[in-house]
Every structure is written in structure tokens, then in C-alpha cells.
Amino acid sequence: MATSYALMIQPVDGDADRADFADTFASVDPAAPALSVGELSTQRGDGIFESIGVVDGHPQEVDAHLDRLAHSARICDLPAPNLAQWRAAIAAVAAHAPAGESVIKLILSRGIEHGPTPTAWVTLAPAADFTAVRERGIRVVTLDRGYDSTVPARAPWLLLGAKTLSYAVNMAALREAHRRGADDAIFVTTDGFVLEAPTASLVLRRGDRFTTPAPTGGILHGTTQLSMFAYLQECGYETGYEQILTESLASVDAAWLVSSVRLAAPITAIDGTSLPTDAAFTADLNAYLLSPRD
């Protein structure tokens, strides 16, 4: 969906304490040129981002997204974002959201090449209608991510735990999934462990226990997965972070890809093997994920 509102941000120091940031924001026409060709985001995917779900004007899980933005900035040697400034920008943009579901994107770029500061902006766009996908579910395939489970810890320059703008591989993995007749992909390591989807986290169910791959540096800590675990704990279920073997996927009782905008999409098949689904349970879960949460 086309961007409906965009706010450029003049980043202030991470620890600057200000009552108001309005003078650091400038709204721009989202269809008009707003970025110069010297932007390092565009030349090298050199920056970080977050996508925040918005329901009826309420931006969801803002704290978790801001925590992850700060985490990504550390991994990428970017100046620490001023989280109060970003929180104010999110509120300013969310004020323009219509009823229904939208998506707010935060982008922090290393800036103009040879320029003095990062550039930053926040956009608002209508969300695609995922109602049917949340009910009907998705077929996924596993795709080799090319590295083994020991790599993220020993090679931090691969930025595997950061949500960078260098998402060409994530997009290529989705195209490969579509080529194989599936809707989405699950990345796996060369030594047989499950990672994450290109734009979502994976949650598995066995009986009353729900697990997700541990965010040990190789994957992002999913903001929606965090919300889902909070919900499951409220419901009395057990949750846990684990190293999950790829070969164990076929025998789970249910599985979901969860993300900020599509929310919980039940997986109906992995690599052509059908998985059980529970329509009522998933509907309750998505109703929770659509309720206002901070």
C-alpha cells in the first residue's frame, strides 16, 4: 500500500533530555522526492528499521520495537537513537492513522555519504488486509540460511541479530518460497537448527508448551512473539526459548509465523507436509494481538 504520511526526523543525541521534539520533525509529501541520491540507506542498505502494527490509531508494542531499534544501532555502530524522540515521532505519525490496521515504519540510515549525521524518518501506510491469511493459513518451505549455529556469536560483523535495511536476501527468500508454491519461508542453519522467517518469527506448539528459537544473536527477537508469549502465559500455557531442530518441525502440534502487521499466520504445511491447525485458538490469539497493547 502506498505511504500516506511521512515525517523526516533530525536525530538528536541519544541522551538529550527534551520536553518536546516537534521542532526536529518535518512532514513531507510521501509521494514526492524526500531523500537525496547520496543516502547510504539507498546506496548500501546501511541503516536499520522497525515495522510497527497500528490498530485504530494505536501503535502496538512500541517499547519492544524501540528496544530492538537501539539493539540494532549498537550492532551496526550507529549513534544511539534518542528513544524519547522516536516515541514522540511515532505518536505524531500515529495521529494520522485512520480506523483499521496500518503500519508505521521507523528508518534510521547512516546518513548522506560523508555527511555529518544519520538521517531518519517515519512513515505511515495502510496495512494489507490479512484477515483471510490469518484464518486460512500459509504454506512454508525451509530454506538454508548458509551458516551454522556457531557463526553469529563468532562473526558479529555479519550483523545477524540486527534488523538492517540490507533485506535483499530476505526478499529473495520470499521469491524462492513462491517459486516452490509456498507463501513464506523458514530459514534453517546448515547444522540443522531452525532460525526465523524472512520477515516473521516462528512459534511452535507441542501440547501445552509453546517454543520459539532462542534469539542468540543469529535472529531477531520478535516483538509480536513477545506479545504472543505474554498472552499464552496469561492463558496458563508454558513458553520457552530453545534450540529447535529442523527435523522436529514435522511433528509439532501447531505452528505460526508471527509478525507485527500480518500477526499470527497459522502454518498449514512445511515443505509439503501438512500440519494440524486450530482455527478457534488462532482466532483468539489474533483478537488479542489486535487489541491495544503497549
Which stretches of the chain bind a second copy, using CB under 8 A?
1-3, 6, 28, 30-39, 41-47, 49, 76-77, 105, 107, 109-110, 113-114, 121, 123, 143-148, 151, 154-160, 162, 164-173, 175-176, 190
**Cβ at position 144, least distance to a second copy in Å:** 5
Residues 6+ apart with CB under 8 A from 166: 44, 45, 46, 159
Q: Is 294 buried (19+), middle (13-18) or exposed (0-12) by CB count in 10 A? A: exposed
**Cβ at position 94, least distance to a second copy in Å:** 17
CA distances from 262 to 10, 152, 288 (A): 30, 27, 13
DSSP symbol at 73: H
**Cβ at position 37, least distance to a second copy in Å:** 5
For residues 95 and 287, which CB has a smaller minimum distance to a second copy in the complex? 95
The whole-angstrom separation of Cα 229 and Cα 238 is 9
**Cβ at position 32, least distance to a second copy in Å:** 7
For residues 42 and 268, which CB has a smaller minimum distance to a second copy in the complex? 42
Helix (H) or strand (E) holding 126: strand 119-126
In 3D space, the residue among 4, 231, 262 whose CA is nearest the CA of residue 140 turns out to be 262
For residues 176 and 284, which CB has a smaller minimum distance to a second copy in the complex? 176
**Cβ at position 260, least distance to a second copy in Å:** 15
The whole-angstrom separation of Cα 107 and Cα 143 is 27
For residues 17 and 77, which CB has a smaller minimum distance to a second copy in the complex? 77
For residues 10 and 42, which CB has a smaller minimum distance to a second copy in the complex? 42
256 in Cβ contact with 267 (< 8 Å): yes
The whole-angstrom separation of Cα 245 and Cα 47 is 32
For residues 147 and 281, which CB has a smaller minimum distance to a second copy in the complex? 147
**Cβ at position 19, least distance to a second copy in Å:** 28
